[in-house]
Amino acid sequence: MTEIVKPHRFLDYAPAPESTSILHLKKSYGLFIDGEFVKGHGKPFLTVAPATEEKIAEIANANSKDVDTAVAAARRAYDRTWSKLSGADRGKYLFRIARLVQERARELAVAESIDNGKPIKESRDVDVPLVAAWFFYYAGWADKLDYAGLGPNPRALGVAAQVIPWNFPLLMLAWKIAPALAAGNTVVIKPAETTPLSSLILAEIFQQAELPAGVVNIITGAGDTGQALVNHPDVNKVAFTGSTAVGRAIAKSVAGSGKKLTLELGGKAANIVFDDAPIDQAVEGIVNGIFFNQGHVCCAGSRLLVQENVHDEVVDRLKLRLSTLRLGDPLDKNTDIGAINSREQLERIRELSDIGEREGAERWTAPCVIPDKGFWFAPTIFTNVSTSSTIAREEIFGPVLSVLTFRTPAEAIAKANNTPYGLSAGIWSEKGSRILAVADQLRAGVIWANTFNRFDPASPFGGYKESGYGREGGRHGLAAYLQGASW
Amino acid sequence: MTPSAALAPAERALGLIGPDLTEKSLRLHLEGLSGIDAVGLEERAAALGTRSIKTTSKAWALDTIIRLVDLTTLEGADTDGKVRSLVAKAMNPDASDPTVPRVAAVCVYGDMVPTAVDALGSAHGDPDEGNISVAAVATAFPSGRASLAVKTLDTAEAVAAGADEIDMVIDRGAFLSGNYGLVFDQIVAVKEACRREDGSYAHLKVILETGELNTYDNVRRASWLAILAGGDFIKTSTGKVSPAATLPVTLLMLEVVRDWHRLTGERIGVKPAGGIRTSKDAIKYLVTVAETVGEEWLQPHLFRFGASSLLNDVLLQRQKLTTGRYSGPDYVTID
């Protein structure tokens, strides 16, 4: 018999890695245009695993000629096939895709965790199930557009050009593609250059689902590819999720072109904890708000506004809780905090954190061992942060929380709204009337009460001010892809 | 009880609430505790339940579960023979493998304590030293519907017969009607009945019967009340009411124990009882303990499982782990 030895510490759980045997990666991937994988004409690039810095695969790079080909394929598919199908038939394809996503869920989750660096428990339990849910949800709308309250006989726009970020590569793809197809549009979409892998597996799923050629085209590349795509004269709709700087440039270049535009940009969400909050659950919510997906979340609760009379108690409990977070191998089922997606992003997080320290905020970092290779940043909180601090104003997009205080509900509301952004906010209180009264005055697109970072395809998502315009998700998400309709 | 009536002067309550220990001051303290968001609590418990415990960690976990079991028989049909059989199982859980550790305690009705003590013989003693304790349910278990005199006599008799631990029930009727002081005074009185002639005390586990308290806010208040009145352990359930132990309720009680430890440095035990039948479930509890109060709580003086069928499932899992082959229920003894 094997001898049973006490591990050094029970909490040093033995490794529990998710197997990668389910993944059958190719050495190189082409562009997915007109239903086929084809060569790109730009210089190919490598996608690397941020946890190990090892190369995963070579990825084709679309130049402007490839963008032309892709848009032409989408136009052809729109004119000849997709616009002639009934809503019920479009729905059938979407249902088929949703079911295939569920069938290949583990494979997609493993690919996502390797390429993005996010923990497998998140890609497995959050990202991929939501991807399937998004396709199922919009599949149901495809034959009911007449009853969506968006006017009689709503008509598709045509070809949609979509550019998405690296923080939720597959989920953002679903957010963009599912409503566009349900509403009858065809799509050319560009995933982020650091996270193309899962979208190319999804392309295989489109082939498996026998989605008509050209209905979805996936072109990989960097910023210039995206620029060529959104500026292409033959696209009718531009949808972008990413940084406010790029979003602003897109808004300028699209202005006057007649293209319909939705932008989902940055955020600096306030997570407001009142002194009557359910304290243990609020601490969980703070952790989930900023450390979910390594803080690479546009709606992350990165500004903690805590009532001054419970500040010390909340921060003490938060530090205790953060000390139990497990940072490391994204494929280990017990990992809570994965890798930072890229060296570039890691540098930005470091730089902003250093500025926070220089400006006088007090830095605390969770005690955890940082692996030798890869891009990592330990969960960090800053206390003594003032509203004028850089780290209280700029989006860090990493596992860094700034803690500010308030004295009264009025002050909490004023501080929460005192940002150029307005994507999301959180309220923690046991008093229902207070939650409603505060929510009513917050200028944010999504407000969570006694929870944070919860997503559902039926719920519209989008921002105020510099967080963008338009809504994704729900009935409102359809309006972005239909003529004349507005949310 | 009038709001200003003084309560029994329990040491912890005096320390925390102050010399003015009355029904009113106790109520103010309990009602001032932070609320519980049920959805959030259950989500956290579910997240802890997804931890993947493999290989060496699993082996250690299985043995630890066995060391933390209060092997229990609480039937009207209990006999000397049944209790002796239970004790034999407690001393030697797996007849085919002598390396299996012993359980922490056997848990029986008060009148069965002499039988259990006799059957244990020299193995009777402190689980920290590899021995087995005798725990007795008392205070008109499971309903608790009897006079205080009956409850204390029930307790004192079990202690005199050699019980090391007393599992008492609180008066849920009194708690739900808001008579916190009555519940408090009864715990203090039962604690006093745990006192042996030599001045030492049998360990007192206070059963909250969370299935009858119904809300998480009630469970938090009852946990604080039981600790303030002098309980050494807080225990979820009698096993006679459904739902019995659940992971969210146990997590909540562990959070109270953690808060008490942060406040005073004193460690209180937690015992989920009833409804934990599989190794897989029990491992979720170990994870929840380790990640909430710390793994130093995973010892018999601070954490127990009240269970009967759990032990055999752990033994089957252990056989699988040591031999590499799946076994079956006919390869472990019934009791």
pLDDT tens track for B238-272: 999 999 999 999 999 999 999 999 999 999 999 99
What letter does residue B253 receive in the DSSP assignment?
H
Question: Is the same domain home to A417 and A473?
Answer: no
Closest CA to A262 of A437, A460, A15: A460
Residue A7 lies in a domain: no
Question: Is the same domain home to A78 and A176?
Answer: yes
Share of chain A above pLDDT 70, in %: 98
Residue A18 lies in a domain: no
Contacts of A121 in chain B (CB under 8 A): 50
Please tell me if residue A333 touches chain B, with a CB cutoff of 8 Å: yes
Distance, CA of B315 to CA of B328 (rounded, Å):
10
* Residue A5, pLDDT above cutoff 70: no
Sheet holding A468-469, edge to edge: A36-38, A31-33, A216-218, A186-190, A159-163, A237-241, A260-264, A468-469
How close B228 gets to chain A, by Cα (Å)?
21
Using alpha carbons, list the distances in angstroms from residue A26 to A49, A53, A172, A200, A211. Answer: 15, 18, 23, 10, 22
Whether residue B94 lies in the annotated active site: no
Question: Is the same domain home to A419 and A471?
Answer: no
Question: Is the same domain home to A35 and A96?
Answer: yes
Answer yes or no: do B59 and A2 touch at CB < 8 A.
yes
* Residue A135, pLDDT above cutoff 80: yes
Distance, CA of B283 to CA of B275 (rounded, Å):
14
- CATH number for the domain that contains residue A448: 3.40.309.10
> Is there a contact between A421 and A302 (Cβ–Cβ < 8 Å)?
no
Residue A21 lies in a domain: no
Residue A20 lies in a domain: no
Distance, CA of A349 to CA of A356 (rounded, Å):
11
Whether residue B271 lies in the annotated active site: yes
Share of chain B above pLDDT 90, in %: 96
Residue B49 lies in a domain: yes
3-state class (DSSP) for residue A242: coil
Question: Is the same domain home to A49 and A148?
Answer: yes
Residue B260 lies in a domain: yes
How close A28 gets to chain B, by Cα (Å)?
33
Q: Which of B31, B39, B52 to mutate to test the interface with A (most CBs of A within 10 A)?
A: B52
Residue B11 lies in a domain: no
Question: Is the same domain home to A215 and A79?
Answer: yes
Mean local confidence (pLDDT), B41-49: 98
Contacts of B34 in chain A (CB under 8 A): 276-280
The model's pLDDT over A382-398, given as tens digits with 9 standing for 90+, comes to 999 999 999 999 999 99
Residue B14 lies in a domain: no
Question: Is the same domain home to A94 and A201?
Answer: yes
Please tell me if residue A284 touches chain B, with a CB cutoff of 8 Å: yes
Residue A254 lies in a domain: yes
Catalytic residue among B235, B281, B284, B313: B235
Local confidence band at A8 (pLDDT 50, 70, 90 cut-offs):
low
Residues of A recognised as catalytic = 264, 298
Contacts of A429 in chain B (CB under 8 A): none
Domain count, chain B: 1
| Long-range CB contacts for residues A439-446, cutoff 8 Å, separation at least 24 | A441/A413, A441/A417, A442/A270, A442/A413, A442/A416, A442/A417, A443/A417, A444/A269, A444/A270, A444/A416, A445/A471, A446/A299
In which domain, by residue range, is A302 found? 270-457
Tokens 């490391």 appear where? A328
The model's pLDDT over A208-252, given as tens digits with 9 standing for 90+, comes to 999 999 999 999 999 999 999 999 999 999 999 999 999 999 999
Contacts of A278 in chain B (CB under 8 A): 34-37, 40
Mean local confidence (pLDDT), A162-179: 98
Q: Which of A5, A8, A9, A10 to mutate to test the interface with B (most CBs of B within 10 A)?
A: A10
Out of B39, B59, B290, name the one closest to residue A4 (CB).
Answer: B59
Local confidence band at A1 (pLDDT 50, 70, 90 cut-offs):
very low
> Is there a contact between B180 and B143 (Cβ–Cβ < 8 Å)?
no
Please tell me if residue B56 touches chain A, with a CB cutoff of 8 Å: yes
Catalytic residue among B271, B281, B284, B313: B271
- CATH number for the domain that contains residue B69: 3.20.20.70
What are the backbone angles phi and psi of residue A267, rounded to the nearest 5°? Answer: -160, 160
Question: Is the same domain home to A239 and A298?
Answer: no
In which domain, by residue range, is B312 found? 20-331
- CATH number for the domain that contains residue A155: 3.40.605.10
Contacts of B290 in chain A (CB under 8 A): 10-11
How close B79 gets to chain A, by Cα (Å)?
36
Distance, CA of A130 to CA of A456 (rounded, Å):
7
Q: In this predicted structure, what is the pLDDT of residue B335?
A: 77
Question: Is the same domain home to A306 and A445?
Answer: yes
Mean local confidence (pLDDT), A467-479: 94
Residue B2 lies in a domain: no
Q: In this predicted structure, what is the pLDDT of residue A487?
A: 53
Question: Is the same domain home to A107 and A209?
Answer: yes
> Tokens in use for B18?
């102050």
Distance, CA of A282 to CA of A317 (rounded, Å):
10
Q: How many CB atoms lie within 10 A of CB A26?
A: 11
Residue A4 lies in a domain: no
Contacts of B63 in chain A (CB under 8 A): 4
| Ranges assigned E (strand) in A164-288 | 186-190, 216-218, 237-241, 260-264, 270-273
How close B269 gets to chain A, by Cα (Å)?
19
Answer yes or no: do B35 and A430 touch at CB < 8 A.
yes
Mean local confidence (pLDDT), A118-141: 98
> Is there a contact between A126 and A347 (Cβ–Cβ < 8 Å)?
no
The model's pLDDT over A42-51, given as tens digits with 9 standing for 90+, comes to 999 999 999 9
Answer yes or no: do A1 and B99 touch at CB < 8 A.
yes
Q: In this predicted structure, what is the pLDDT of residue A2?
A: 42
Number of Cβ pairs closer than 8 Å across A and B?
88
Residue B193 lies in a domain: yes
Residue B12 lies in a domain: no
Sheet holding A55-59, edge to edge: A28-29, A55-59, A45-48
Answer yes or no: do A10 and B286 touch at CB < 8 A.
yes
> Tokens in use for A19?
């197997």
The model's pLDDT over A68-103, given as tens digits with 9 standing for 90+, comes to 999 999 999 999 999 999 999 999 999 999 999 999
Out of B36, B39, B322, name the one closest to residue A2 (CB).
Answer: B322
Mean local confidence (pLDDT), A124-141: 98
Closest CA to A332 of A5, A9, A12: A12
- The gap from C-alpha A34 to its chain's centroid, in whole angstroms, comes to 26
Please tell me if residue A277 touches chain B, with a CB cutoff of 8 Å: yes
Residue A1 lies in a domain: no
Please tell me if residue B44 touches chain A, with a CB cutoff of 8 Å: yes
> Tokens in use for B304?
């127990």
Answer yes or no: do A2 and B58 touch at CB < 8 A.
no
How close A322 gets to chain B, by Cα (Å)?
11
Mean local confidence (pLDDT), A46-67: 98
Local confidence band at A3 (pLDDT 50, 70, 90 cut-offs):
very low
Cis peptide before B248 (omega within 30 of 0): no
| Touching A: B residues 98-117, CB under 8 Å | 99
* Residue A7, pLDDT above cutoff 60: no
Domain count, chain A: 2
Residue B109 lies in a domain: yes
Residue A75 lies in a domain: yes
